[in-house]
Amino acid sequence: MPTPPPIRHCSACGAPVSYRVPEGDSRPRAVCPACGHIQYENPRNIVGTIPAWQSSVLLCRRAIEPRLGLWTLPAGFMEIGETTQAGALRETREEAGAEVAIDGLYALINVLPAHQVYFFYRGRLVEPRWEAGEESLEVRLFSEQDVPWDAIAFRSVAQTLRRYFADLRTGRFELHAFDIE
Amino acid sequence: MPTPPPIRHCSACGAPVSYRVPEGDSRPRAVCPACGHIQYENPRNIVGTIPAWQSSVLLCRRAIEPRLGLWTLPAGFMEIGETTQAGALRETREEAGAEVAIDGLYALINVLPAHQVYFFYRGRLVEPRWEAGEESLEVRLFSEQDVPWDAIAFRSVAQTLRRYFADLRTGRFELHAFDIE
């Protein structure tokens, strides 16, 4: 989930932009010298689920870069027109071919190097069915002992899974809000 | 906090874009016919605080459009390179001239018509000091009885304040996750 490239041209008129601090602002922005349009860049949201079946979790092996071949929770960019929950369910369908019932927000993670905020919801598989989507090589249930910890695609996912399995032992699931720098 | 205008030109090369569904995708995107660059649009995060002093809350009267003259909680667009909490503290400083200590995430709101996700953190004023920033006409403490309910700038803010004052009576503050359609 790479960050987008820098803005070179104005999205309103197509003229080359320059990065400068607009009047009344405190940060450099992509400002168009031709039409004055300011193009803002902001962090993007990644929405996904922790699809649970009994004491196991469904993971997807990535069929796309970055981290092709490594394991992850089903998650992806939140789209315009959907809620964070709806996006998480959509990604779970698309990547894992699975239907889950959401039990609440479990992890909220600021991933500073990627300019992203992750939302992971706890989800119960409504039935033990799944299927690798186009972006997955395979999809499998893992108990805590079986998780391929050395082959997890993203730190956000590894840290979420560590916390999840720890909470599973106590049965208490609170929101985990943390940052990755 | 208006939504950005549609993309007309490619941010990589400046050529006019067309909206079409790229191969392997399911949604129309701004695709550049000249260089192939795809420019994605995603919801943006609004981060802010509920700055509390005893049983009152600090509100800001907006000096800017939209909703100029109406009251709001200090909040604004999350920036690249900051966490949601850091952004909420920054906005509280910029708009209300106030320092708060964050007590946790209080409200997480999908505002679908605006393509935005709101994060409101509970904050305690570290001292009873505030000052209207450039984007505020005035800043004042309000108890529940005094809140100008008919002059609140955004539904997200009104609904957050209603819930906050209700929780204040019980002393129990859990995360309120809800959607505005």
Q: Say how many CB pairs under 8 Å bridge A and B.
A: 110
* Residue range(s) in chain A whose domain bears CATH number 3.90.79.10: 44-180
- Alpha helices (H) along chain B: 84-96, 155-170
Report whether pLDDT(B53) > 60.
Answer: yes
Q: How close B32 comes to chain A (CA, Å)?
A: 11
Q: What are the tens digits of pLDDT across the range A72-117? A: 999 999 999 999 999 999 999 999 999 999 999 999 999 999 999 9
Q: Write down the ipTM of this complex.
A: 0.94
User: Is residue A181 within 8 Å of A110, Cβ to Cβ?
Assistant: no
Q: Which residue of B has its CA nearest to A135?
A: B24
Task: Name the pTM for this structure.
Answer: 0.95
Interchain pair B77, A40: CB under 8 A: yes
Determine the topology of domain A44-180 in CATH.
Answer: Nucleoside Triphosphate Pyrophosphohydrolase (3.90.79)
Interchain pair B105, A175: CB under 8 A: yes
Interchain pair A8, B11: CB under 8 A: yes
CATH number of B1-41: 2.20.70.10
Give the model's confidence band at B6: pLDDT under 50 very low, under 70 low, under 90 confident, else very high. Answer: confident
Residues of B in contact with A24 (CB under 8 A): 134
Q: Which residue of B has its CA nearest to A41?
A: B80
How far apart CA B45 and CA B116 sit, in angstroms, is 6
Q: So what's the pLDDT on residue B1?
A: 47
Report whether pLDDT(B5) > 90.
Answer: no
How far apart CA A51 and CA A101 sit, in angstroms, is 9
Instruction: Compute the average pLDDT of residues A137-142.
Output: 98
Q: What are the tens digits of pLDDT across the range A7-58? A: 999 999 999 999 999 998 999 999 999 999 999 999 999 999 999 999 999 9
How far apart CA B71 and CA B43 sit, in angstroms, is 24
Q: Which CATH class is domain A7-41?
A: mainly beta
* Residue range(s) in chain B whose domain bears CATH number 2.20.70.10: 1-41
User: Is residue B72 within 8 Å of B60, Cβ to Cβ?
Assistant: yes
Q: Which residues contact A23 (CB under 8 A, 6 or more apart)?
A: none
Report whether pLDDT(B59) > 50.
Answer: yes
Q: Which residues contact B23 (CB under 8 A, 6 or more apart)?
A: none
Residues of B in contact with A134 (CB under 8 A): 24
